[in-house]
A = this chain, B = another copy of it.
């Protein structure tokens, strides 16, 4: 199996008004593996993350410090994180981790985590389903966590806090989500101290006009675009078109998942994360710097697909992996 892109392809042709470089926030090892039925051994996770770093990714979400009962697939956070010390300490790779509460934050900080993320919901239904709280109760839960992370910052060189926001475009129970409602929660997350937002299209229903309207509404309410990342799912095949729209608006923090990890393409439960390789193909064609070696990344995702025993849903991985999968 080779994973070399075809010679001189994609042809590099920049488009007007796009940023010259972006930061890919790689979520495969956390958001991807969290949704796998099988539990992946800690060694395999550590190797996966090292391979992602070797492929040039510099922000790799590593794991989640939630209670193991909630997310058994990531119950090995304590065992995994120390195996990644070389990446943070000598190679400058950022390894954000999810923290749901003060206890999770303490565990993460004790292990040396310097990038943490909280995860709120734009809708009441999902806040209830995911956190068993109202939207505002969830925000109240995260407020002291963010405050404590910011406090820790004075002791360390940096603690960067990301605020994930789920269901920013549509919700399986509520349908379309009003933009004002999303903006309100975004503002609350920034007001409590989050450094960056990640706008999640958790069920993958957004289309480009909706993306642009939300970004414009955030700007109008004083949220600068450089504080905003986008996290699109490919459930309806819209993720890359939506990412293009976000790039056209100036967004430079793009979430994606190596190999499209995050749900089997044949299962109803597919979360369908945007595949990092499909994103990188577009960005490189547009002449936008990512620092990623697409051949190495594709080889990594093909390797991970073998570990999981099923083909990658990334179209680029399939196209570049010269075997019948």
Using a CB–CB distance below 8 Å, which chain A residues touch chain B? 6-15, 18, 169-170, 172, 175-177, 203-210, 212-213, 234-238, 240-241, 243-245, 265-268, 270, 272, 275, 277-278, 281-282, 284-287, 311, 314-316, 318-319, 322-325
Contacts and interface: CB of A to CB of B under 8 A. Distances in A.
Contact of A9 (B13, B175, B324): B175
A207 B281 contact: yes
Contacts of A311: 266
B10 A205 contact: yes
A11 B170 contact: yes
A176 B206 contact: no
A236 B282 CA distance: 9
A314 B238 CA distance: 11
A11, A177, A282, A287: most-surrounded residue (chain B CB, <10 A): A11
24 contacts: A6-B205, A8-B175, A10-B176, A10-B210, A10-B236, A11-B169, A11-B177, A11-B206, A11-B210, A13-B207, A204-B319, A207-B282, A207-B285, A209-B286, A235-B315, A235-B319, A237-B275, A237-B277, A237-B278, A266-B318, A266-B325, A270-B319, A272-B315, A272-B319
B9 A237 contact: no
A324 B172 CA distance: 18
Contacts of A325: 266
Given A207-B286, A209-B14, A209-B287, A176 B237 contact: no
Contact of A244 (B6, B203, B241, B267): B241
Contacts of A323: 268
Given A6-B170, A209-B285, A209-B287, A238 B11 contact: no
